[in-house]
Amino acid sequence: MTRNRSGALRPVTSATLSRRAVLRAGGAIAAGGLVLAIGLPGCSRPSGGGAGGGALKTTATNAWLKISTDESITFVCDRSEMGQGVYTALPMLLAEELGVKLERIRVEFAPVGDAYVNKLVGGQITGGSTSVRDAWDKLRIAGAQAREMLVAAACQQWDMPVAGCRVEDGIVISTRGKKLSYGALAEAAAKLPVPAKPKLRPRSEFTLIGRDTRRLDGASKVDGSAVYGIDVKLPEMLYAALAQSPTLGGKVRSVDDAAAKTMAGVKAVVTTGSGIAVVASSWWQARQARDALKIQWDAGPNAELDNATIARGLRQAAAGAGKSARAEGDADAAIAAATNGGGRVIRSDYELPMLAHATLEPQNCTAHVTADGCDLYVPTQIQGVAQAAAATAAGLKPEQVRVHTTLLGGGFGRRLEVDFVPAAVEASKAVGKPVKLLWTREDDMRHDAYRPPAFDQAAAAFDKDGKLTAWKLHLVGPSITARLFPGVVAQAVDPFAIEAAVNFPYDVPNISVDYLRHEIGINVGYWRSVSHALNCFVAESFIDELAYAARKNPGEFRLGLLEKQPRYRRVLESALRTSKFGLVRKGHFQGLALMEGYGTYMAQVVEVSIESGLVKIHRITCTADCGQMVNPLNVHSQIEGSVIFGLSAALWGDINLKGGSVTQGNFDTYRILRLPEVPRIVVDLIDSGEAPGGIGEPATALVAPALCNAIYAATGKRLRSLPLARHRMI
């Protein structure tokens, strides 16, 4: 990132990108700087440039903070900015303790490094709504350590005790009013021991954390200067378009590139592991020539795959037993007792479609392979894996691949995949120049790792007195984690398949939740809120069914089962109040959903009316208790956006396969909400002193169940599958 004359933060330009790459290659770091040393326990030095040591009087590194003699303060951001706001929230944590104004902090993205491992997920990963939760202690401690070292350095110089000194926007001020700037102190501070237990500010003294703060990347996103992966420019760079098998899992049998090779601008046709790449002087030329390739495809194992096959497979698989994720009491016995003892048993099956991520920036990667390494400019959520994929493709060691993370034009889990990386590397290696490989929208839609489809079975029992005695969920679907992180599922039940099911909050004596993995032949991927969105639909639709079966108000029914769950109760009560649940005008109907996900407690109420058999959505109320908020303004934005993301999926989201190929291609066939279609969204935030919860994802998961519950309230029709378009209700 660079700072322009007006002092506003601007993302890296291609010029600084390439300069930095050059500097790194030479083993130096940015000129004129001094890197303050703080070695945090358990943090090894990052590998490869950036925050690493090198020239000048640099002593060592704190992985996240650089203070230069020119008074610039740089935060090395180890999470990817994909709209969720880490570019602002994370430096807020650092600035709060360091004692500088946020605007003074420049942000640059971290290279691959052990120090940058997200402890909540065990990799250098931006996902799982973990960024703030992972950084909460770590960055405040880093800021506080630096502050204490700077103060100590000043006092050493003044020959004064530390007591009574204070800091004010990057200046240490003594009890007698003497002043020294951080820039002037950085070198001396770096030589001091790192305080093991720096004193952190108590919540009551926060000046930045918890305050509405505008995005630091906002300015660059209104003038076109923000640099996404697609915008990377390097000297002599060429452009590539990729022909991939129309059938998922298919392979090239033969290619006739005679016509393509004669087309204007075409430099090379490269056979890669992902398909045929055409490299040209501009992307448009590359794309035109790609479309002129005559390729015979071997359709592979999915030639006959379609939605009906997948749905049938899941239904048939459901007859089997899953791995138990939670078992309390004996749900089967309670169901049998209700059956035989005058109680009631209720059973419902739910079905969910596959979904595409459809980030607005299509997948892309720029690679520059040279004899001794590879520079990779990539919008990624998973730097280490991108590095490894590039290394394999280039025939290099991982440490020879320098990953430069750009801004992401949306992530939503799509960029936890690295399928767009190897072909860029292979193409660059083949032509000996930097190559920017960009997928078309249709490539992106048809070669996603889709949100898993699901077929889930729910059962519950009321005893003869009407008490809810059993709750049983049998979840069936393909596993994302088994492919991406097989170690995680080797012993345990896939933790990313049972979210919002295993933490069932309602007080029922007999609970059984199990998960049966059933693969469908194509890759499935993490999609915003992951299995929360699948299982919240099932659990919150089914509990709603039970409420109506018990002839109770759905709000009161839930509250009656939440005596031991104060945080759930609090958000639910607030949402009922804020949405005027049950008190809306005639002809309007409401449905609700409740969930904990990512440490955030949330309730949503959707208000609808039915006009000519179609659903009209008037208002969505979302109450959230996400613990201590860092930037409430961003929390608000994330909830609004997550609701819209979930609503697009609930209304239209449906990826269909025919003969192993995805039939959707662009936004005409894969609809997402447009501005006039957005209902009023009311965000109700609960001020909570609890530990921070994640906010980038959870609100997505509650929309569909709350909406379908509202539709039931309005029509008596229970929708147990999505999207609404399949039911012709939108």
Partner 1 sequence: MIKLKINGNTVEVDVDPETPLLWVLRDTIGLTGTKYGCGMSLCGACTVHLNGEPIRSCVTPVSAVGDSAVTTIEGLSKDRSHPVQKAWIELDVPQCGYCQSGQIMSAAALLAKTPKPTDADIDAAMSGNLCRCGTYQRIRAAIHKAADGGASGATKS
By the criterion CB under 8 A, which residues form the site for partner 1? Answer: 6, 8, 81-85, 214-215, 217-228, 230-231, 233, 239, 264, 282-285, 358-362, 407-412, 438, 440-441, 633-634, 637-638, 640-645, 666-668, 672-676, 678, 681
CA 253, CA 299: separation in Å to the nearest integer?
Answer: 9
Distance in Å, CB of 344 to partner 1, minimum: 40
Distance in Å, CB of 340 to partner 1, minimum: 50
Distance in Å, CB of 286 to partner 1, minimum: 10
Whichever of 231 and 684 has its CB closer to partner 1, that residue is 231
Distance in Å, CB of 221 to partner 1, minimum: 3
Whichever of 165 and 620 has its CB closer to partner 1, that residue is 620
Pairing, β 468-477 against β 510-517: parallel
Whichever of 52 and 229 has its CB closer to partner 1, that residue is 229
Distance in Å, CB of 291 to partner 1, minimum: 12
Distance in Å, CB of 680 to partner 1, minimum: 8
| Among 320, 319, 343, 322, CA closest to 333 | 343
Distance in Å, CB of 607 to partner 1, minimum: 16
Pairing, β 401-405 against β 373-378: parallel
| Among 160, 130, 152, CA closest to 199 | 152
Kindly state the greatest CA–CA separation across the chain. Answer: 85
Distance in Å, CB of 700 to partner 1, minimum: 10
Distance in Å, CB of 224 to partner 1, minimum: 2
Query: What are the residues facing 661 on neighbouring strands?
Result: 658
DSSP-H helix ranges across 353-399: 383-394
Measure Cα distances from 69 to 57, 86, 109, 183, 231 in Å: 11, 26, 21, 4, 32
Whichever of 229 and 705 has its CB closer to partner 1, that residue is 229
CA 576, CA 553: separation in Å to the nearest integer?
Answer: 11
Whichever of 173 and 219 has its CB closer to partner 1, that residue is 219
Distance in Å, CB of 397 to partner 1, minimum: 32
Pairing, β 510-517 against β 589-597: unpaired
Whichever of 541 and 638 has its CB closer to partner 1, that residue is 638
Residue pair 654/450 in contact (Cβ under 8 Å)? The answer is no
Q: How many other β-carbons are positioned within 10 Å of the β-carbon of residue 327?
A: 13
Whichever of 600 and 634 has its CB closer to partner 1, that residue is 634
| Among 120, 145, 144, CA closest to 132 | 120
CA 184, CA 67: separation in Å to the nearest integer?
Answer: 10
Pairing, β 266-272 against β 275-280: antiparallel
Whichever of 96 and 217 has its CB closer to partner 1, that residue is 217
Whichever of 251 and 284 has its CB closer to partner 1, that residue is 284
| Among 63, 16, 7, CA closest to 35 | 63
Cα-trace Rg, the chain? 27
Phi/psi at 324 (5° precision): -70, 130
Identify the sign of the CA torsion 116, 121, 123, 128.
negative
Pairing, β 9-10 against β 2-3: antiparallel
Describe the strand order of the beta sheet including 171-173 as a list of residue ranges.
166-168, 171-173, 179-181
Whichever of 130 and 302 has its CB closer to partner 1, that residue is 130
CA 448, CA 418: separation in Å to the nearest integer?
Answer: 11
Whichever of 61 and 80 has its CB closer to partner 1, that residue is 80
Three-state SS at 82? coil
Please provide the distance, in angstroms rounded to a whole number, between the alpha carbons at the two ends of the chain: 44
Distance in Å, CB of 409 to partner 1, minimum: 3
| Among 366, 355, 381, 449, CA closest to 84 | 381
Pairing, β 171-173 against β 166-168: antiparallel
Whichever of 420 and 645 has its CB closer to partner 1, that residue is 645
Whichever of 32 and 218 has its CB closer to partner 1, that residue is 218
Whichever of 185 and 620 has its CB closer to partner 1, that residue is 620
Distance in Å, CB of 681 to partner 1, minimum: 6
E-assigned strands of 192-304?
A: 238-243, 251-256, 266-272, 275-280, 294-298
Distance in Å, CB of 98 to partner 1, minimum: 23
CA 626, CA 132: separation in Å to the nearest integer?
Answer: 11
Distance in Å, CB of 107 to partner 1, minimum: 14
Whichever of 218 and 301 has its CB closer to partner 1, that residue is 218
- Judged on CB neighbours under 10 Å (0-12, 13-18, 19+), 263 is middle
Distance in Å, CB of 17 to partner 1, minimum: 13
Hunting for tokens 């935030």 — which residue is that? 685
Measure Cα distances from 648 to 129, 178, 419 in Å: 20, 59, 25
Whichever of 353 and 409 has its CB closer to partner 1, that residue is 409
Structure tokens at 327: 């078992």
DSSP string, 469-514: EEEEEEEEE--SHHHH-HHHHTTS--TTTSTTTTT--S--SEEEEE
Distance in Å, CB of 442 to partner 1, minimum: 8
Residue pair 507/353 in contact (Cβ under 8 Å)? The answer is no
